[in-house]
């Protein structure tokens, strides 16, 4: 990959002097749709991600070529950052970083030449957008010596997603991508941003991400609908409970909440948040004890809750889940926002080939096209490459 980046950059911009960077994607092992509800999540960066080669310019122009999206080099001026690009929507994740960093007062007075390429599937729930955001933030922090901490980088990435792109996402994706550690997941408190690393000791097991290959974008999905349902439920419950967020409630509160809300849909959303919060805490304890069997059961329960109570799975993800269970995996669940995207499965090494073959065949038969499989390892966060 490194030599390809070097050769492609020289060919594109006729420059030998440049710097290389890598920003991983992330998988959330458990704790889905919790980050905007103020609770604990358990993400890990993965070995697939976004690579960038960059050089500093002497003018105010930014030139970008994406091997995945571009037919030609796309450019914009540092003087016109508020205007979104309607023809190349992917460039807005880059433009948004420049806009909000300059708006926050960071001195960015020169443009760049940039080549980006990714080994991640887009719109698959592995946070390719946050990977790109953190790549650009890290690059600008490095080039202009801005001295941002990794936490500040994560907060800035979230602001780009919320304020410039228009998705009401939490901070989990950006935080995990900025702060992850190789061979570890993290338990992150999305309310306080306190976190701890949890070892993932896989000796006879393999984490496999299965992409449904159903395309979906967060802004086009029901993501914001779920966000708003949770906000509505929180507003109603704050009349009864002294809480800042839904994840502050416990499973012992569920019976009273059902009576108080008197709304089946909102109750089911709250039920998922509360029980998923509990599963995340128990998963942390299981991984610390290297109890993968318990962790696998909690993964399965998480998917069922996301299917039955949060209603964010769909036939593609549910087919992958049910076929995974038939293959006697240690555990499986949808990961990411849902509505398509990916499933993550924990599979015994000696069962991997059969798992891939059998799930692929069953999925093709039911859905009409094949899923894609990625063997992943917990990775470090965004860095120079």
- pTM check: above 0.85: yes
Same domain (yes/no): 71, 179: yes
Instruction: Work out how many domains the chain is built from and give that number.
Output: 2
Is there a domain that residue 230 lies in? yes
338 - beta bridge partners?
Answer: none
Q: What is the DSSP letter of 218?
A: G
pLDDT at residue number 289: 97
Specify whether 182 is located in the same domain as 261.
Answer: no
In a shared domain, residues 7 and 103: yes
Side-chain-facing half-sphere of 341: CA atoms under 13 Å? 23
Residues 164 and 286 in one domain: no
Q: Tell me what pLDDT residue 220 has.
A: 52
Is 138 in the same domain as 247? no
The residue out of 198, 217, 233 marking a domain boundary is 198
Here the CATH number for the domain that contains residue 165 is: 3.30.230.10
At 330, which CATH number?
A: 3.30.70.890
Q: Quick check: is 384 in a domain?
A: no
pLDDT value of residue 219: 47
Q: What is the pLDDT of residue 217?
A: 55
**Which tens digits make up the pLDDT trace of 37-85?**
999 999 999 999 999 999 999 999 999 999 988 889 999 999 999 989 9
Are 117 and 144 contained in the same domain? yes
Contacts of 253 (CB under 8 A, 6+ apart): 241, 274
Do 338 and 307 sit in the same domain of this protein?
yes
In a domain, 385, yes or no: no
| 261 in a structural domain | yes
- The span from the CA of 144 to the CA of 124, in Å, is 32
**Domain match, 93 and 219 both:** no
Query: Does some domain include residue 228?
Result: yes
pLDDT at 146: 97
Nearest to 227 by CA among 210, 245, 204, 205: 245
- Is residue 250 assigned to a domain? yes
261 and 131 within one domain:
no
Same domain, 236 and 182: no
Last residue in a domain, options 143, 177, 198: 198
Domain that holds residue 212: 201-379
Residues taking part in catalysis: 173
- Within this chain, do residues 183 and 211 fall inside the same structural domain, yes or no? no
Is the same domain home to 184 and 310? no
Over residues 203-240, the pLDDT tens digits come to 999 999 999 998 765 545 688 899 999 999 999 999 99
Cα–Cα distance between 194 and 229 in angstroms, integer? 26
CB 84 within 8 A of CB 171: no
- pLDDT per position in the chain (385 positions), as tens? 889 999 999 999 998 778 999 999 999 999 999 989 999 999 999 999 999 999 999 999 999 999 988 889 999 999 999 989 988 889 999 999 999 999 999 999 999 999 999 998 777 668 889 999 999 999 999 999 999 999 999 999 999 999 999 888 889 999 999 999 999 999 999 999 999 999 999 999 999 999 999 876 554 568 889 999 999 999 999 999 999 999 999 999 999 999 899 899 999 999 999 999 999 999 999 999 999 999 999 999 999 999 999 999 999 999 999 999 999 999 999 998 888 889 999 999 999 999 999 999 999 999 999 999 999 999 999 999 9
Picking from 153, 174, 198, the residue at the C-terminal end of a domain is 198
Asked if residue 159 belongs to a domain, the reply is yes
């Amino acid at each position: 990959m490194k030599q390809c980046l070097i050769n492609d950059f020289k060919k594109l911009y006729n420059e030998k002097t440049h710097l290389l960077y890598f920003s991983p994607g992330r998988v959330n092992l458990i704790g889905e749709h919790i980050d905007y509800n103020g609770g604990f999540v358990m993400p890990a960066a993965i070995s697939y991600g976004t690579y960038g080669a960059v050089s500093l310019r002497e003018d105010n122009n930014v030139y970008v070529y994406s091997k995945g999206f571009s037919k030609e080099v796309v450019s914009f001026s540092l003087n016109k950052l508020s205007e979104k690009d309607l023809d190349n929507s992917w460039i807005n994740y880059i433009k948004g970083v420049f806009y909000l960093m300059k708006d926050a007062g960071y001195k960015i007075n020169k443009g760049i030449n940039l080549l980006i390429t990714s080994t991640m599937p887009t719109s698959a729930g592995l946070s390719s957008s946050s990977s790109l955001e953190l790549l650009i933030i890290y690059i600008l922090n490095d080039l202009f010596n801005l001295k941002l901490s990794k936490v500040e980088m994560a907060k800035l990435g979230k602001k780009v997603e919320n304020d410039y792109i228009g998705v009401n996402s939490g901070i989990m994706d950006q935080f995990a991508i900025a702060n992850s550690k190789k061979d570890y997941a993290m338990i992150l408190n999305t309310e306080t941003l306190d976190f701890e690393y949890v070892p993932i000791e896989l000796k006879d097991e393999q984490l496999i991400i299965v992409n449904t290959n159903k395309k979906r974008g967060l802004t086009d999905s029901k993501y914001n609908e779920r966000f708003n349902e949770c906000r509505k439920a929180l507003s109603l419950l704050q009349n009864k409970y002294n809480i800042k967020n839904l994840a502050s409630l416990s499973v012992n509160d569920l019976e009273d909440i059902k009576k108080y809300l008197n709304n089946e849909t909102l109750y089911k959303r709250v039920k998922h948040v509360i029980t998923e919060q509990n599963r995340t805490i128990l998963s942390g304890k299981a991984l610390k004890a290297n109890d993968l069997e318990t962790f696998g059961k909690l993964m399965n329960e998480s998917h069922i809750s996301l299917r039955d109570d949060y209603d964010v799975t769909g036939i593609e993800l549910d087919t992958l889940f049910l076929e995974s269970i038939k293959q006697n995996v240690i555990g499986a669940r949808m990961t990411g926002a849902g509505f398509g995207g990916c499933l993550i499965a924990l599979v015994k090494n000696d069962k991997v080939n059969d798992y891939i073959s059998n799930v692929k065949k069953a999925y093709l038969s039911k859905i009409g096209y094949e899923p894609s499989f990625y063997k992943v390892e917990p990775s470090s966060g965004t860095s120079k490459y």
